[in-house]
Structure formats: structure tokens, C-alpha cells
Amino acid sequence: MNTKELDNKYIMHTYGRYDVALKSGKGRYAYDEDGKRYLDVSSGIGVNALGYCDEGYVKAVSAQLSEIQHMSNYFYCPQASKLAETLCEATGFSKVCFGNSGAEANECAIKVARKYSFDKYGEGRNEIITLSNSFHGRTVTTLSATGQDVFHNYFFPFTEGFMYADPDLDSVKAQLTESTCGVLIECVQGEGGVNILDKDFVKALRELCDERDLVLIVDEVQTGIGRTGRLFCFENFGIMPDLATCAKGLGGGLPIGACLCAEKLAGVMTPSTHGSTFAANPVVCAGANYILSVVNTEEFLSEVRAKGEYLKEKLSALKGVKSVRGLGLMIGIELENGDAHEIAAKCVEDGLLIITAKSLLRMLPPLNITRDELDEAVAILAENL
Ligand SMILES: *Cc1c(COP(=O)(O)O)cnc(C)c1O
């Protein structure tokens, strides 16, 4: 049996896949089992921050792998300590809790927000307001946090304590009760259709949270680590959250999640209130340390912003494109007509790995993509529109 047949026979059918099995990759190009080349503007959903098998990244990860590959959390891990320091020093957050995925990072943030409130106000103040069209993960609790009805099915009973609001202040206020302890947002909703929140709304939300001692959580699982042209997307909005989560781009292709908290929450989590066997793995942290050493410079981030503008301009000029939105290299393309999924599948056939979000085409190219490669991507897309 070939790869596709084995997958169909032995892997649970939880994904709709393109008809391609990827075997290798270098830079912004992936190769399938027949050696066909694909330009990748999806980065494995914003994960391969520096593309495939970046030389420095491979070196950092391989060196760590032959040093020590895992230790339990009963021991200190130099690579994890260094990564936590870098994240805190770069952002102004005080402490980090590591996990293995975006959903896990959000679970941690939800636990921190609820325990902060429990410690200070006692039982019962535990509701978290999230936004319509949000996406926060696939665990039972993060599905519950996700503000889309389609995700609230089959797996009953879901975790209680989530209220859903539209992205405007009145709607959020309408969901506020004595029991509210926090608000969870994505500054740019990824899966929900590359929706950029209004800057004044985000600022007003920050003020509301300050007034009511609510924990403001920003889910940066997709937007974090340079994706929007700033290390964290909330920097574009002129606010500082109490908690931020990140995951996708942080490990450059290896699984990691992180929950970052402000000083006022630094003492909330105490021994045995949270943990994860694989969290803060030294090999993964070595990869993340390398990613940050490249991405977290003003020069690199300003290039992400400039390439984002360049790409948006090129895409906006295409026939069949209604509008283009996004920040940095997180781009949504609204089509005049035609089915985004069909067009994406055709692009893949033509050697361009592109994804969708709702009815939009979505691009999350590797952050180190070149302008020539962006031109090539736009040309393949243009032919399929
Ligand atoms: C992808 C994503 C998640 C879930 O991350 P996993 O690593 O798949 O658990 C959560 N929030 C946002 C905004 C995401 O884009």
C-alpha cells in the first residue's frame, strides 16, 4: 500500500488532506514522494517559521539531541531556563509555563486566570468571555472556549464557564457578570478568517479588565513569534495583556507551547497545580532558542512587515481578489467568487502549498521567504483564480 492508502486504512479520519505526501523540504520548498517541488506559503500552519530544514536550526536541534534528549521536570533544564529568560526579557512578562501545543498553552492560561480569581475572590468567580469566530484549540475545554457553535457538538458535556461576545465593547459588557474572571481574545483571528480586531476595542477591553480586575488573555498561538511583524501581535495594538500564549512558530517545527504571565500573576501557580511530562523538552527548547535568536531582532521583524505589505499589494492587484487583509505575513484573501478550498487544491496541484480560513485563502509563509518567492506564489495563484 502507498502512503495515502496506509493513511486511509490506519489513521483516524480527522483531517481532510490534499492529495500530496510530503517527503522532504529545504528552505521554502517541499518535495513529495515523486520528487515534485512545492513552494510553501503555509509553513505547516505558521509552524515552520524559518522554512524547511534551516541550516542553523538543524544544527542547534541536532547538537542538543546528541547532548541530552529529555529529562523529567524534577530537574532543571538549561535550554528551558534560557528560553524562558529570552521570552520574558523580550516582552516584559515575568514568568513562563511550557507545554506541548497551543491548546495546552491556552489550558494553562485558563487555569492561571481561574486560580488568580479563586485565590483572591473565592469560589464561583470563574467565567471567561471569548469572542465569536475565535479558535482556541481542540481539547474539551479549549473547544468550549472557542466561540463558534460548530465546535460545540458531540463531546458533551463541555467545560462550563465560557461566555461568547461579538468583538465590540457593548457585546462584551453584556456578557459580564459577578462571576466573570477573564477575557480571552486573538488580536487577529486566524482560523476564524484572518479578522483583525479593532485597535480601540482592544484598548477599551484592556481598560475594562483593569477596572474589574479581570485577567486579559491574548491567544498568540498563531500570531506570536514574529508572524505579524512584531514578536507578539498585541504590540501592534498598544496593550500589554496579563497572559499571552504562543505555540505554532515558537518551535520552528517541533511541538512546544508557552503561557506567559505578567508580574501580578507570577505567584499564582504553585507546585503540582500544573505540569506535563514532555513540556520544556531540551531538544525542542534548543530549536526555539535558535528561532528566537533569528526572529527577535528589529531588522528581521521590520522585513516581515515590509514583505507583508509587498505581498498584500501584489495580491490586491489580482483579478478575482475582492480584498486582502492581514498583518505582517499573516494574510487572508477574500475572493470575488469561487470556492477557496477548490482554488487552494488547484494551487497545490500546480506546486503551491496554500491554505484556507473559512471562505478565504490564507497565506502564512515562512518568515524568511524572499520577495522572488512571494512573486512566484502570487503568479501560481493568479493562474488559478
Ligand atoms: C492553532 C491554534 C490553536 C491550537 O493549537 P494546537 O497546537 O493545535 O493545540 C489555538 N489557538 C489559535 C489561535 C490557533 O491558531
Please give the distance, rounded to the nearest whole angstrom, from the Cα atom of residue 137 to the centre of ligand 1.
Answer: 5
Q: By alpha-carbon position, which residue is closest to atom 15 of ligand 1?
A: 222
Residue of 14, 48, 136 with the most ligand 1 atoms within 8 Å of its CB, for mutation: 136
Note whether 50 and 252 are within 8 A (CB).
Answer: yes
Residue of 104, 138, 142, 221 with the most ligand 1 atoms within 8 Å of its CB, for mutation: 221
Please give the distance, rounded to the nearest whole angstrom, from the Cα atom of residue 66 to the centre of ligand 1.
Answer: 30
Q: How far apart are CA 148 and CA 150, in angstroms?
A: 6
**Does any ligand 1 atom lie closer than 6 A to the CB of residue 373?**
no
Residue 136 grid coordinates: 482556541
Task: Locate the ligand 1 atom nearest the alpha carbon of residue 247 and give its number.
Answer: 7
Please give the distance, rounded to the nearest whole angstrom, from the Cα atom of residue 136 to the centre of ligand 1.
Answer: 6
Instruction: Give whole-number Cα distances, 146 to 5, 51, 62, 233, 370, in Å.
Output: 33, 29, 37, 19, 35
Assign domain 68-295 to a CATH class.
alpha beta
Residue 336 grid coordinates: 470575488
**Does any ligand 1 atom lie closer than 6 A to the CB of residue 99?**
no
- Provide the pLDDT for residue 62: 98
Please state the three-class secondary structure of 55-106 as a single string: HHHHHHHHHHHCCCCCCCCCCCCHHHHHHHHHHHHHHCCCEEEEECCHHHHH
- Provide the pLDDT for residue 233: 98
- Provide the pLDDT for residue 330: 98
List the domain boundaries for the chain: 3-53+298-384, 68-295
**Does any ligand 1 atom lie closer than 6 A to the CB of residue 186?**
yes
* 321-327 sheet: strands from edge to edge: 321-327, 330-335, 360-363, 355-357
Q: By alpha-carbon position, which residue is closest to atom 11 of ligand 1?
A: 136
Task: Please determine whether the domains at 3-53+298-384 and 68-295 fall in the same fold group of CATH.
Answer: no
Task: Locate the ligand 1 atom nearest the alpha carbon of residue 137 and give its number.
Answer: 4
Task: Locate the ligand 1 atom nearest the alpha carbon of residue 257 and give its number.
Answer: 7
- Provide the pLDDT for residue 20: 97
Among 79, 84, 331, 314, CA closest to 228: 331
Contacts of residue 269, Cβ cutoff 8 Å, sequence gap at least 6 = 97, 111, 112, 115
**Does any ligand 1 atom lie closer than 6 A to the CB of residue 151?**
no
Please give the distance, rounded to the nearest whole angstrom, from the Cα atom of residue 202 to the centre of ligand 1.
Answer: 20
Contacts of residue 366, Cβ cutoff 8 Å, sequence gap at least 6 = 27, 28, 40, 43, 48, 49, 50, 51
Q: How far apart are CA 101 and CA 103, in angstroms?
A: 6
Q: By alpha-carbon position, which residue is closest to atom 5 of ligand 1?
A: 102
Q: How far apart are CA 183 and CA 176, in angstroms?
A: 10
Task: Locate the ligand 1 atom nearest the alpha carbon of residue 134 and give its number.
Answer: 13
Task: Locate the ligand 1 atom nearest the alpha carbon of residue 255 and give its number.
Answer: 7
**Does any ligand 1 atom lie closer than 6 A to the CB of residue 115?**
no
pTM above threshold 0.95: yes
**Does any ligand 1 atom lie closer than 6 A to the CB of residue 242?**
no
- In the chain, % helix, strand, coil (3-state, to 5) comes to 40, 20, 40
Q: How far apart are CA 385 and CA 380, in angstroms?
A: 9
- Provide the pLDDT for residue 139: 98
- Provide the pLDDT for residue 189: 98
Query: Phi, psi at residue 356, to the nearest 5°?
Result: -130, 165
Q: How far apart are CA 338 and CA 214, in angstroms?
A: 43
**Does any ligand 1 atom lie closer than 6 A to the CB of residue 245?**
no
Which ranges in the chain belong to alpha helices (H)? 3-10, 43-46, 55-65, 78-91, 102-121, 140-145, 169-175, 199-212, 282-295, 298-316, 340-349, 371-384
Angle at CA 249, nearest 5°, toward 106 and 293?
A: 120
Q: How far apart are CA 26 and CA 12, in angstroms?
A: 29
Q: Across the 385 residues of the chain, what is the mean pLDDT of every consecutive 10-residue run?
A: 97 96 98 98 98 98 98 97 98 98 98 98 98 98 98 98 98 98 98 98 98 99 98 98 98 98 98 97 98 98 98 98 98 96 98 98 98 98 97
The correct CATH number of 3-53+298-384 out of 3.40.50.1860, 3.30.413.10, 3.40.50.1980, 3.90.1150.10 is 3.90.1150.10
